[in-house]
Chain A
Amino acid sequence: MSKVVRGAGWLLVVSGAVVLLYVVYLLWFTNFETERAQNDLAETWAETESDGTAVETGDTVEGTDDGSDHDDDIEVEDAYAAMWFERDGERIIQDEEIYVVEGVSLDRLRSGPGHYPDSDRPGGAGNFAIAGHRTTYGAPFWSLDELQEGDTIHVIDRERREWVYAYRTQEVVAPTALWVVGRDPLESGEATITLTTCHPRGSAAERLIVWGALLDEPIESTAADVPAEEIAEG
């Protein structure tokens, strides 16, 4: 009997230790991993020529093959874009620039928010879509729900052009609502940015979607005929 009690005691101790370690992993380890990746991306972003040519070569992430200017393979260590949020000229959500990577696989999103490869490019006449973690991995989109009318979303593309999107609206949708990354999700005819993240925090039960509209004159779309399902698939 005492052996059973002892065994059960050890089992509880080990289970508790694993749960504690998991909390450490979520709250510290994933953030550390992303912080390191973001620092690396910032470094290569600074070293990279304004035309997006990487200084050093390495593994590449496959882009789209639609003949657009973003069909060039992007080095894994390169950022696809840099972004930040502003309210009345002050940065909100995060003080530092957030570097966006190409691709939305969970592996890629460990480095930062990811561009849905089949969605439009920054400044494109269609829908430029980005996914980012709400919690863990630096939680770049932790307070995305705090965006309000008048806020702006700033994006610098690989050619170092700055594109400004005005916050339009947000919605909580089911993970099956693929239309949110479609060409014109708000049916406004405007060039759009779509940000997707988990909702509620710490759960993948739903998605929080934030949309913005381009304030500048858009450039040619690179994802005119790509169906939403294909974009969502990444």
Chain B
Amino acid sequence: MSESTERPRWAKPVLLTLVIAVAIVVLFTWVFPWVESMQQDPTLGAAAQLLRAPR
């Protein structure tokens, strides 16, 4: 006699919601700040560091 492997009906929407929630947290915490830092830098620090870096 084999055990039934069928998932309950609520599992899919719950899993999907969880995945979306985790994805949003990751996007807002790491991905977007990183992308944003590439686009916005009001300082001259990056250039100064590049000029100082050993070639």
Contacts and interface: CB of A to CB of B under 8 A. Distances in A.
Instruction: Judge: A and B partners, yes or no.
Output: yes
Interface of A: 18, 21-22, 25-26, 29-30, 104-106, 109, 114, 116, 131-136, 141, 174-178, 180-181, 196-198, 202-204, 207, 229-230, 232-234
Interface string B23-52: 010011000100111111111111111111
20 contacts: A25-B28, A105-B45, A106-B40, A131-B42, A175-B44, A178-B48, A178-B51, A196-B42, A197-B42, A198-B40, A198-B42, A202-B39, A203-B39, A204-B40, A204-B42, A232-B44, A232-B47, A232-B48, A233-B45, A234-B45
Contacts of A131: 42-44
Nearest to B44: A232
B44 A136 contact: no
Contacts of A233: 45, 48-49, 52
Nearest to B35: A22
A18 B45 contact: no
A175 B47 contact: yes
B48 A229 contact: yes
B24 to A, nearest CB: 7
A222 B47 CA distance: 24
A176 B51 contact: yes
A18 B27 contact: yes
A181 B46 CA distance: 14
Contact of A196 (B38, B43, B49): B43
A104 to B, nearest CB: 5
Given A18-B27, A22-B32, A229-B52, A207 B39 contact: no
A234 B42 CA distance: 12
A48 B45 CA distance: 30
Nearest to A106: B37
A196 B50 CA distance: 18
Contacts of A203: 39
Contacts of A178: 44, 47-48, 51
Given A203-B39, A232-B43, 6 more contacts: A25-B28, A141-B42, A178-B48, A196-B43, A204-B38, A207-B44
A99 B51 CA distance: 31
A133 to B, nearest CB: 6
A109 B43 CA distance: 10
Contact of B36 (A105, A136, A175, A230): A136
Contact of A26 (B36, B38, B42): B36
